[in-house]
Amino acid sequence: MPEQRVPIRSDLDIVNARVAGRELARALGFGVIDQARVATAISELARNIVLYAGSGVVVLNQIHDGRRVGLEAVCIDAGPGIADIELALRDGYSTSHGLGMGLPGTRRLMDEFEIESAPGQGTRVTIRKWQR
């Protein structure tokens, strides 16, 4: 399956990314629970793009590790970046007066979670879910 890029600029784009992630998970044979996990994680990260950076992109790919098939979503923005990633990954921490569950919740929903960010350099979050 070819890479799928979903530009993120608005709430409608968040929905588009969520649907695209769920559809890719379904096409790869994930069960409905894992489809929902993927969709929720992508939605959270896309919402962060809109909220903190204004715009960015979600890149969806099918991946293989030689034994299994998976889904990878890379969420990229050129926003203000995150000064303290460790703090941002703590449950309850929020700079937008939310519940502070976005990044830590996303990390729990997925099998793999990587974040790269620095002040003034934007943020790149890579998440992966593997078929069981």
- Residue 28 pLDDT > 50: yes
Digit-coded pLDDT (tens) for 42-55: 999 999 999 999 99
Average pLDDT over residues 56-83: 96
Q: How confident is the model at residue 90 (pLDDT cuts 50, 70, 90)?
A: confident
Measure Cα distances from 101 to 32, 73, 105 in Å: 22, 19, 5
H or E stretch including 37? Answer: helix 32-48
- CA dist 45 and 125 (Å) reads 8
The CATH number of whichever domain residue 67 belongs to comes to: 3.30.565.10
Digit-coded pLDDT (tens) for 8-18: 999 999 999 99
Average pLDDT over residues 57-65: 97
State the pLDDT at residue 99. 44
State the pLDDT at residue 81. 94
- CA dist 95 and 81 (Å) reads 12
Q: How many domains are there within the chain? A: 1
Measure Cα distances from 14 to 5, 52, 85 in Å: 12, 13, 23
Range of the domain at 34: 4-130
Average pLDDT over residues 23-40: 97
